[in-house]
Chain A
């Protein structure tokens, strides 16, 4: 079993739609939860990060973490064609643990927002 599972898609939505991207994980030591965005022919860039459980909002983006279910989500409201990219979830444990200091990534979900 992979430590982090993410549906690779592809996901295609019309402009203005609400997009929901998800990851599940098996390692209960993960405490830091990140979403990276990767445009074609570019390296990933950090979009949002959350520590432990809860929600975090940044503009059109909302990250949610449910540690009891080992499930994280990224919501994109009013999606735009410029949001078309691959979205990667990533996770890391606390200091002192074996998963500290190294990001474990999901496979990435390819998203296309068409006008």
Chain B
């Protein structure tokens, strides 16, 4: 596999559920990102990891918990979400945190019911 792979592609969860989104990159990059894409809104940066260390948390509610066990894998743990959290969650990677080119996965379409 090449590029950035996200699983699952679609997820429906209740507000009391706990689920996790997974992202894997096969590009040898050192920086990984979580973005949220909602309808009629710009892509919102959520978290940045550089060499496995979190370098940015864009005031994201604690019901979203990221985890980066190594430079190739990134998780987003979800618990007690709200319906307004329904969105497309995109993972991206870049060679380094300052790179202009980010490579995106296809995203996980999350619906909270």
A contacts, CB < 8 Å to B: 2, 4, 6, 8, 32, 34, 41-46, 49, 88, 90, 92, 95, 100-108
Contacts and interface: CB of A to CB of B under 8 A. Distances in A.
Given A42-B106, A45-B103, 19 more contacts: A32-B100, A34-B101, A43-B4, A43-B105, A43-B106, A44-B104, A45-B104, A46-B100, A46-B102, A49-B100, A92-B98, A92-B100, A101-B55, A102-B33, A102-B58, A104-B45, A105-B43, A107-B41, A107-B42
Q: In this complex, which of B42, B45, B55 has the most chain A Cβ atoms within 10 angstroms of its Cβ?
A: B42
Interface of B: 4, 31, 33, 40-43, 45, 48, 50, 55-56, 58, 90, 92, 97-98, 100-107
Nearest to B48: A102
Contacts of B97: 101-102
B101 A101 contact: no
Q: In this complex, which of A8, A46, A102 has the most chain B Cβ atoms within 10 angstroms of its Cβ?
A: A102
Contact of A103 (B50, B102, B106, B107): B102
| 6 nearest A-B pairs in the assembled complex, by CB-CB distance | A43-B104, A101-B97, A105-B43, A105-B42, A46-B101, A49-B100
Nearest to B45: A102
A85 to B, nearest CB: 13
A2 B42 contact: yes
A101 B98 contact: yes
